[in-house]
Chain A
Amino acid sequence: MSKSILGLFLDPNSAADAMDGLKESGFEQGSFDVLTGTPYPEGAFGEHVPQHRLFRFPAFGAIIGFSASLFLTTATQLAYPLITGGKPILSIFAMLIIMYEMTMLSAVIFSVIGIIFESRLPNINPSAYDPRITEGYIGVVISVEDKDLNKAKAVFEKTGSEEVKVV
C-alpha cells in the first residue's frame, strides 16, 4: 500500500532542491507535487509545466449558446407571428443582440466549468496537506510505496525541511 509524505519548507529554494533530490533518487515526475500558498512563476521549482485544454471549453460553450439562442429567438417569433410596428416577423437585428448575449453567457459558464475541471476540482480526497501552506510554507508532497518511504524521508531531511508528515 502507498503512503503520501508531506515536507514543509520555509525557503522556496530548499523546496526546489527537495524536488531535485526526489528526481535524482528516482521517483517519477507524476508522483510528487509542490503545494504553495501563492502562485509562483511556472516551473519555478523545476516541476513539469502542467498541460491544459482550457481554451476548448469556451469555444464549445459559444457554439452551444449560439445555436440554442438562434433556435429560441427564431422559434419564438415564428410561433407567434404577431406584427409589431411593421417590423419583419424575423427581425434579425434584434435577434442578433440576444444571440450575442446568450453566446457569451454560455461561453463564460463553460469556461468556468473548464477551469474547475482542469484544476482537478472538486478534490474529494485531498491527500497530505497542512494549513501552514496558506501561511507561506511550501509543501512538497509525494506518494510512495512503503519500501521507498525512508528514501523520500531522507531527501526531505537532507534538504532541510521544517517538518515531514506521513499520512
Chain B
Amino acid sequence: MQQRKSVTQEYTNSVLLNGTLETPKWWPYLVSILLFFVLVGIGLFFVQIYFGLGVTGLSRPVYWGLYITTFVFWVGISHAGIMISAILRLTQAEWRRPVTRAAEILTIFSLLTALVFPLIHAGRTWRIIYWLLPYDFSRGIWPNIRSPLFMDPIAIGTYLTGSTLFLFIALIPDLAVLRDRTTGLRKGFYTILAMGWRGNPRQWKMQVVGGILLSALMLPIFVSVHSIVSWDFAVTIGVEGWHSTIFAPYFVIGAVHSGVSAVVTMMALMRWGWKWNDFIRPEHFDALARLLTVVATAWLGFTFLELIFALYGLDAPEIALREMQIFQYPWNMLFLLFLLTGYIIPVPMWLFKRVRTNIALMFWSSIMVNIGMWLERFLIIVPGLARKTPFVFTWEAYSPSWFEWYILFWSFCWVTLLMLLFSKVFPLVPLFEQKESEVFSDSVKIGRANVPTIFREEEE
C-alpha cells in the first residue's frame, strides 16, 4: 500500500457511481448481445428437455461429462468471494477494500449458475423438485439424506443465502448514498432498501462488528461447500481415481486458485470498463498476484499428493487410468495444457513485480489460470469414467457435442449479463470501505522516511 492519491468523498461518490447513475456507452450494446446468447441457450435447454440427453456426447460408462465439469468449475469460481472478503477482512488486509464487493457478487452469480447445471444435467429436469425440495407430497417420500447429491443443494443453498445476506448488509451504507443521490422511483426503491440508514456510531459499529462476525461464520461454510461437492466423487468406489481422501482440501484450494484469478479478471475489466483507475490500482493486482502465487503453489502440492497416492496403491486399473490421463493422446495434450496454463506459465510470471503491476498481463494470466482449472476438473471427472473398472470391454471415449459446448459458453454469458445488470442498480465497489480507508490511513515520519500508516481500533 504505497503512497495513494488522497481523494474527497464527493469524488469517490461521483466516480464509483458512474456505472449506476449514468450508463457507459458500451453497456446497452453488450447487454443486448449477451441477452441474445442467453436466450438462445435457454431455447437449446428446452430442446434437450424435449428430445432427451441423447443430444449430448455422453455414453456408457461416461455418464457425467461437460455439464458436471462446468458445475464444479462454477462452484470453484464462487469461492473467490468469501476468500477475499472474509479472510482478508479477518486479517485486516488493507488492499481488500475495492475488491470485496466484486468478489461477493461473483460468488453469488457463479453459485446461481452452478445451481442451474445439475438441472440441465439431470435426465428428467421437470421432476428435479423431488430432489431439491426436502418434502414433496405427490411422491410421499423424503429425499435420501445419505446421498452426496442431496448434500450439494443444501451446502450450496446455505452458501448462496449466506453470501447474499452478507452482501446486503455490506450494501446498506452505499444504498443510503444512492438514496441521497437519486430521485423519483429509484429513490423510493433505495429508500426502502436502505431502511432509513443515517450513519450514527451504533450503525457503523454494527457494520464493522457484523462484518467480522459474518466473515467468521461464512468461512467454515466456504470450506465445506466445495468439500461436499468433492465428496460426490470421492465416495464412489467404482471409478478409478475418484476414491481419494485428499479430494476435499484439494478441490477447495483449487477453487480458491480459480476464484481469485476470476476476481483479478473481473477487476481488470472493471478498471477498463468504468475507468476506476483511482480506486482499482496496480498495487491491488500486485497483492492479489502475491496471494495467488502462494495459493497456486499449495494447490500444486496437493495435485502432486493426489497423483502420488493414486499410484501408491499399485493396482493395475488405477495405473492404466493414469497412463491414459497423462500419456495417451488426446488426454496428454489436455494434461500438458492444464499444467502449463494452471501453473507453469502464470506463476513464474507473477514472481516479477513488473508483471504483477501490469493490468493487461494480469488479466491474461488470470484467464489462463481458469482455463487450466477447468481442464483440471475435466481431467479428474472424465478419464476416470472412461476407464472405469477392470472390465476393459466397457471402456469408452467421450467427446462433448456442440450442444454441451454451447451450454458452457452460455454459462459465461449468463454470469456476465447478471453482473452488468447488477452494476446498473448497485455500486460494484464498496463506497464506504473506500472512504473508511481514506479516514483511517495516515503517514508518519520514521527518521526521514514518510511511512504510510493505518489506524486500527482495539476490537473487544
A residues at B contact (CB < 8 Å):
33-42, 45, 47, 49-50, 52, 54-55, 58, 72-73, 76-77, 79-80, 82, 84-85, 87, 91, 94-95, 97-98, 100-102, 104-105, 107-109, 111-112, 114-116, 118-126, 129, 131, 133-136
Contact indicator A76/B143 (Cβ below 8 Å) = yes
B residues at A contact (CB < 8 Å):
8-10, 13, 134, 141-146, 150-151, 154-155, 157-158, 161-162, 165-166, 168-169, 172, 176-177, 180-181, 195-210, 213-214, 217-218, 220-221, 224, 228, 432, 435-436, 438-440, 455, 457
Residues from chain B with Cβ under 8 Å of A35 in the complex: 198-200
Contact indicator A118/B206 (Cβ below 8 Å) = yes
Contact indicator A120/B202 (Cβ below 8 Å) = yes
Partner of B9, one of A37, A80, A124: A37
Given A108-B165, A134-B180, 11 more A-B residue pairs with CB atoms under 8 Å apart are A34-B200, A37-B432, A38-B439, A39-B204, A52-B209, A58-B213, A82-B144, A108-B158, A115-B213, A115-B214, A134-B176
4 pairs of A and B residues whose beta carbons are closest in the complex: A123-B196, A136-B9, A122-B195, A131-B180
Contact indicator A52/B206 (Cβ below 8 Å) = yes
Contact indicator B161/A36 (Cβ below 8 Å) = no
Residues from chain B with Cβ under 8 Å of A79 in the complex: 142
Residues from chain A with Cβ under 8 Å of B166 in the complex: 108, 112
Partner of B205, one of A52, A95, A109, A126: A52
How far apart are B131's CB and chain A's nearest CB, in angstroms? Answer: 13
How far apart are A61's CB and chain B's nearest CB, in angstroms? Answer: 9
How far apart are B432's CB and chain A's nearest CB, in angstroms? Answer: 6
Residues from chain A with Cβ under 8 Å of B213 in the complex: 54-55, 58, 111, 115
Residues from chain A with Cβ under 8 Å of B13 in the complex: 134-135
Alpha-carbon separation in the docked complex, A69 to B427 (Å) = 37
Contact indicator B145/A36 (Cβ below 8 Å) = no
Contact indicator B196/A84 (Cβ below 8 Å) = no
Contact indicator B154/A101 (Cβ below 8 Å) = yes
Residues from chain B with Cβ under 8 Å of A94 in the complex: 145-146, 151
Known: A72-B134, A111-B217. A42 touches B169 (CB 8 A): no
Residues from chain B with Cβ under 8 Å of A47 in the complex: 201
Q: Is the interface of B mostly helix, strand, loop or mixed?
A: helix
Residue of B nearest to A80 (CB): B141
Alpha-carbon separation in the docked complex, A47 to B200 (Å) = 10
Residue of B nearest to A85 (CB): B146
Known: A39-B207, A111-B210, A136-B10. A121 touches B197 (CB 8 A): yes
Contact indicator B205/A42 (Cβ below 8 Å) = yes
Alpha-carbon separation in the docked complex, A134 to B161 (Å) = 29
Residue of B nearest to A57 (CB): B213
Residues from chain A with Cβ under 8 Å of B177 in the complex: 37, 134
A37, A58, A77 — which one has the most chain B CB atoms within 10 A of its CB? A37
Contact indicator A134/B199 (Cβ below 8 Å) = yes
Alpha-carbon separation in the docked complex, A42 to B432 (Å) = 16
How far apart are B143's CB and chain A's nearest CB, in angstroms? Answer: 7
Residues from chain B with Cβ under 8 Å of A109 in the complex: 161, 165
Contact indicator A34/B432 (Cβ below 8 Å) = no
Alpha-carbon separation in the docked complex, A76 to B242 (Å) = 29
Contact indicator A112/B158 (Cβ below 8 Å) = no
Residue of A nearest to B210 (CB): A115
Residues from chain B with Cβ under 8 Å of A39 in the complex: 204-205, 207-208, 432, 436, 439
Residues from chain B with Cβ under 8 Å of A105 in the complex: 157-158, 161-162, 221
Contact indicator B197/A123 (Cβ below 8 Å) = yes
List, sorted by A's number, 12 A–B pairs whose CB atoms are closer than 8 Å.
A34-B201, A35-B198, A50-B202, A72-B134, A77-B145, A80-B141, A104-B220, A108-B166, A111-B217, A115-B214, A123-B196, A123-B198
Residues from chain B with Cβ under 8 Å of A102 in the complex: 154, 158
Residues from chain A with Cβ under 8 Å of B440 in the complex: 41
Residues from chain B with Cβ under 8 Å of A42 in the complex: 201, 205, 457
B145, B177, B197, B455 — which one has the most chain A CB atoms within 10 A of its CB? B145
B162, B204, B208, B455 — which one has the most chain A CB atoms within 10 A of its CB? B204
Alpha-carbon separation in the docked complex, A95 to B172 (Å) = 36
Contact indicator A84/B439 (Cβ below 8 Å) = no
Contact indicator A101/B224 (Cβ below 8 Å) = yes
Residues from chain B with Cβ under 8 Å of A129 in the complex: 198
Residues from chain B with Cβ under 8 Å of A54 in the complex: 206, 209-210, 213
How far apart are A112's CB and chain B's nearest CB, in angstroms? Answer: 4
Partner of B217, one of A58, A84, A135: A58
Residue of A nearest to B180 (CB): A131
Contact indicator A38/B9 (Cβ below 8 Å) = yes
Contact indicator B214/A112 (Cβ below 8 Å) = yes
A42, A73, A114 — which one has the most chain B CB atoms within 10 A of its CB? A42
Residues from chain A with Cβ under 8 Å of B196 in the complex: 121-126
How far apart are B198's CB and chain A's nearest CB, in angstroms? Answer: 5
Alpha-carbon separation in the docked complex, A121 to B389 (Å) = 59
How far apart are B237's CB and chain A's nearest CB, in angstroms? Answer: 11
How far apart are A80's CB and chain B's nearest CB, in angstroms? Answer: 6
Residues from chain B with Cβ under 8 Å of A121 in the complex: 172, 195-197, 203
How far apart are A2's CB and chain B's nearest CB, in angstroms? Answer: 18
Partner of B203, one of A58, A104, A111, A120: A120
